[in-house]
């Protein structure tokens, strides 16, 4: 019986903590936050594989990236990064991810931002700035289907302004000397950009001891909830309008999970102005700031 050595195993990823403002001291690196799927690429003696953030083997979905990884100048490696669907200008388009994974996987790209293992050496106890240097040496020029996440050192506030101006989802900041540990760590933090947009009000959810939440829709589809943070005068006007426009049941398209006895449903005709985190696929950390009647 042939004695095969074990394959490299998936490592639970390091997860950044979300913060309101980026760190400004010079011992931080700053990178773009790519809007895609967190992915770990592993190459060992039996070939390359690609795993989702939860450790599911998605090699078949990402087959072009797996093939490219097998051509890297290494015998064994573990790369941490983001799988994206890049537009011609390089910006990630999350809404294209599922389509490309199904039909055009060759149009995906893997943006590597860390290296955890290389040719028999576990690099997780190596400072980040040194890991990134090893990563660059491995995948340079990194302009093809496997790319490199560039960074700047220091200047977090200026970097965030540039990210906002470019319309990107946000940024990730990492301590330059940080080691790699699985799970949530404050050595990595993410700062997301905000957007303000108009949403249709579906109903008002009131639960004892919790903020009042407005259930919202966009283009006829349920979008999530937004805390009602209106000034007193505007809030009272909204309550009056909700009372006048009460509906017996929720509109079509509201998922079962969003329904309940503590919700006052309203008829169409109220549009809320909502502040929300950019790049999310349902409203998150959202607040209703104003409303108008159609």
As its CATH architecture, domain 14-192 has: 2-Layer Sandwich (3.30)
List the catalytic residue out of 33, 174, 190, 192.
33
Tens of pLDDT along the chain (294 residues) come to 455 789 999 999 999 999 989 999 999 999 999 989 999 999 999 999 999 999 999 999 999 999 999 999 999 999 999 999 999 888 898 889 999 999 999 999 999 999 999 999 999 999 999 999 999 999 999 988 999 999 999 999 999 999 999 888 899 999 999 999 999 999 999 999 988 899 999 999 988 888 899 999 998 888 999 999 888 888 899 999 888 888 878 777 777 766 777 788 999 999 999 999 887 778 888 999 999 987
Cis preceding-peptide flag for 141 (omega within 30 of 0) = yes
Beta carbons within 10 angstroms of residue 242's beta carbon: 20
Are the C-beta atoms of 241 and 293 separated by less than 8 Å?
yes
How much is the pTM? 0.81
Rounded to 5 degrees, what are φ and ψ at 238?
A: -65, -45
Quote the CA–CA distance of 126 and 254 in Å, as a whole number: 49
Cα distance between residue 258 and residue 75, in whole Å: 50
Residue 161 phi/psi, 5-degree rounding, is: -60, -40
What residues does each domain of the chain span?
A: 14-192, 194-293
Active site residue 267: no
The predicted pLDDT at position 135 comes to 98
What pLDDT does 285 receive? Answer: 83
pLDDT of res. 287 = 92
Task: Identify which of 225, 238, 203 has the alpha carbon closest to the alpha carbon of residue 276.
Answer: 225
Distance CA 83, CA 106 (A): 12
Looking at residue 2, its pLDDT comes to 56
Q: What does CATH list as the number for 194-293?
A: 2.40.50.140
- Cβ contacts of 63-69, under 8 Å, gap ≥ 24: 63/105, 64/105, 64/106, 64/108, 64/145, 65/41, 65/105, 65/108, 65/109, 65/110, 65/145, 65/146, 66/41, 68/110, 68/144, 68/145, 68/146, 69/41, 69/43, 69/146
């Amino acid at each position: 019986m042939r004695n095969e050595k074990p394959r490299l195993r998936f490592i639970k990823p390091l997860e950044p903590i979300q913060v309101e403002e980026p760190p400004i001291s010079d011992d931080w690196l700053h990178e773009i936050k790519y809007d895609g799927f967190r992915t770990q690429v592993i190459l060992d003696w039996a070939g390359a594989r690609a795993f989702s953030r939860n450790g599911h083997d998605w090699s078949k979905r990402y087959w072009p990236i797996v093939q490219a990884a097998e051509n890297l100048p290494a015998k064994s490696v573990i790369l941490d990064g983001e799988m994206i669907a890049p537009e011609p200008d390089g910006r990630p388009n999350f809404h294209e991810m599922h389509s490309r994974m199904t039909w055009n996987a060759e149009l995906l790209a893997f943006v590597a931002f860390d290296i955890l293992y290389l040719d028999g050496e576990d690099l997780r106890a190596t400072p980040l700035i040194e890991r990134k240097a090893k990563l660059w040496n491995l995948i340079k020029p990194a302009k093809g289907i496997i790319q490199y996440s560039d960074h700047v050192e220091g200047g977090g506030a200026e970097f965030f302004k540039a990210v906002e101006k470019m319309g990107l989802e946000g940024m990730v900041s990492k301590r330059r000397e940080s080691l790699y540990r699985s799970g949530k760590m404050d050595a990595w933090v993410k700062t997301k950009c905000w957007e303000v947009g108009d949403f249709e009000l579906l109903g008002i959810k009131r639960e004892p001891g919790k903020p009042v939440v407005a259930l919202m829709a966009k283009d006829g589809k349920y979008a999530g909830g937004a805390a009602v943070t209106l000034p007193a005068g505007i809030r009272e006007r909204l309550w009056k309008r909700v009372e006048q426009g009460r509906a017996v049941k929720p509109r079509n398209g509201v998922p079962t999970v969003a329904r309940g006895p503590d919700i006052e449903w309203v008829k169409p005709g109220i549009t809320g102005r909502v502040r929300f985190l950019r790049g999310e696929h349902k409203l998150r950390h959202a607040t209703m700031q104003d409303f108008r009647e159609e």
